[in-house]
Structure 1
Amino acid sequence: MYRLFASFLLFNFFSFSIYAQTEISISKKNEKLLGQSYKYYSKKKFDKALNYVEKAMQESEVQDIAMASLLEGNIHFALDNLEEAKKAYVKAIQVSKPSDNAAYTAQIGLARSMTKINRRKEIETKKKEREALKDSIDTEKKNKDKTTAFAIIEQVPIYPGCEGKISNAAYKSCMQEKITAHVSENFNTGVSKAIGIKGKININVQFKISAQGDVIDIYAKALNPLLEEEAIRVIQRLPNMQPGTQQGKPVNVIYGLPIIFQVN
């Protein structure tokens, strides 16, 4: 399970106790700037949050606070500024001790940022390759390798416990109910409560059910890397399924779902 203490510190970042624990003194001005940044971050007003944290980060005393860099990284991550998020997470790791919880949380943020950056590069590369080779693609190979969308598959994957249905619609409905129940039972809501963002939380998850029935290529998009990491962990625990078929042959099937909940 995640070291939620790091996020708990972020949640209480602007209390005097954090400075006592990290033995860092900070001016009232910068404490106020960081406090305002966190307040707007928790309300999902990320542009305003970024404005305040960037003002604070101009001061050398703030640049040496790992939790400040972590906050900056989380704001950039929420804004989808992944390169800037990566820099801030690296900074948080550099100024913290290896055993610090801030370093652990920043490492997750860095890993998620790098994964998403690399995924974008792969998508762009594949797009360019498709455009360059669109007139010379081997149709048979293309059909063999392609992934089929869940909505149009001839026979959808069958989730354990959903066997014996009479239609694709029934299989889809059963699978959705089973996956929703799995997520509800296994998602650690403590993560969402600890990161400090309040209100409606939406995590978009996408994955493939392989021709062997395994869950592969999981992708998650959320406002915070810890939310993405938790969503991926939960989806990784889905059971093996009967694979979907197209023209009688097992194929990879892409499936997406939102994970939505409220944090007060």
Structure 2
Amino acid sequence: MFCFFLLTGTFLFAQNDVEVKGNTVTVKEKAPVWPGCESSEDPKKCFNQKLMEHVKSNYKYPRNNKGEFIRGKVVVKMHIDEEGKTVINTVKGDKKEVIAAVKEMLKKMPKMKPGTRGGKPTKISYTLPLNL
């Protein structure tokens, strides 16, 4: 009877994405999935491709007083939260107009399937250097 309860407890509390070997515990982490990448063979590659497409189609170059495009470099620190929403932590760059345009573009990112750690939704952080 004791063995039955011991084995039942072990199987009931086992996690799919956690592996234990000796004294080492490995927890698998999966990246967020961009809408349309669910059936992709390489979800990370698809995520990067969709992100770059999003930047190309949604970034609006700001203009100066002469009507010329303002270009610049920015570093974006953001994360995809447990619900799949994009949260902007910081946007640093040399031109405030470019920073504002990048923040506006990031607000238009779609809701995604959240990343997981150990089979449970978790936030996944990203740092994106952009040269616009």
Q: TM-score, normalised by structure 2?
A: 0.70
Residue in 1 that maps onto 2:129: 258
Q: Does 1:164 align with 2:29?
A: no
SS in 1 for 2:101: helix
Greater relative contact order (CA < 8 Å, ≥ 6 in sequence): 2
How far 1:198 moved relative to its partner?
Answer: 8.8
The verdict on how the C-alpha distance between 1:237 and 1:251 changes in structure 2, with shifts beyond 3 A counting, is same
Q: Distance in 1 between matches of 2:50 and 2:98?
A: 21
State which of 174, 184, 194 in structure 1 corresponds to 2:64.
194
8 Å CA contact 1:218, 1:235 repeated in 2 = no
Residue in 1 that maps onto 2:29: 154
Percent identity over paired residues: 26
How far 1:218 moved relative to its partner?
Answer: 3.6
Q: Does 1:235 align with 2:106?
A: yes
8 Å CA contact 2:33, 2:43 repeated in 1 = yes
Q: Distance in 2 between matches of 1:172 and 1:218?
A: 21
State the one-letter code of the partner of 2:74.
I
Q: Distance in 2 between matches of 1:158 and 1:198?
A: 33
The verdict on how the C-alpha distance between 1:153 and 1:195 changes in structure 2, with shifts beyond 3 A counting, is farther
Residue in 2 that maps onto 1:42: none
8 Å CA contact 1:202, 1:222 repeated in 2 = yes
Tell me how large the CA RMSD over aligned residues is.
2.5
8 Å CA contact 1:153, 1:253 repeated in 2 = no
Whichever structure has more helix as a proportion of its residues is 1
| Number of residue pairs aligned between Structure 1 and Structure 2 | 105
How far 1:255 moved relative to its partner?
Answer: 1.4
SS in 2 for 1:243: coil
Which deviations, in whole Å up to 9, do the C-alpha atoms of 1:70-122 show, x marking residues without a partner? xxxxxxxxxxxxxxxxxxxxxxxxxxxxxxxxxxxxxxxxxxxxxxxxxxxxx
Unpaired runs of at least 5, structure 1: 1-151
SS in 2 for 1:207: strand
Q: Distance in 2 between matches of 1:208 and 1:153?
A: 18
The verdict on how the C-alpha distance between 1:257 and 1:195 changes in structure 2, with shifts beyond 3 A counting, is farther
How far 1:236 moved relative to its partner?
Answer: 1.0
SS in 2 for 1:203: strand
How far 1:185 moved relative to its partner?
Answer: 0.9
Residue in 2 that maps onto 1:213: 84
SS in 2 for 1:194: coil
The verdict on how the C-alpha distance between 1:250 and 1:234 changes in structure 2, with shifts beyond 3 A counting, is same
The verdict on how the C-alpha distance between 1:188 and 1:217 changes in structure 2, with shifts beyond 3 A counting, is closer
How far 1:171 moved relative to its partner?
Answer: 1.3
The verdict on how the C-alpha distance between 1:185 and 1:198 changes in structure 2, with shifts beyond 3 A counting, is closer
How far 1:227 moved relative to its partner?
Answer: 1.1
Whichever structure has more strand as a proportion of its residues is 2
How far 1:165 moved relative to its partner?
Answer: 2.7
Q: TM-score, normalised by structure 1?
A: 0.36
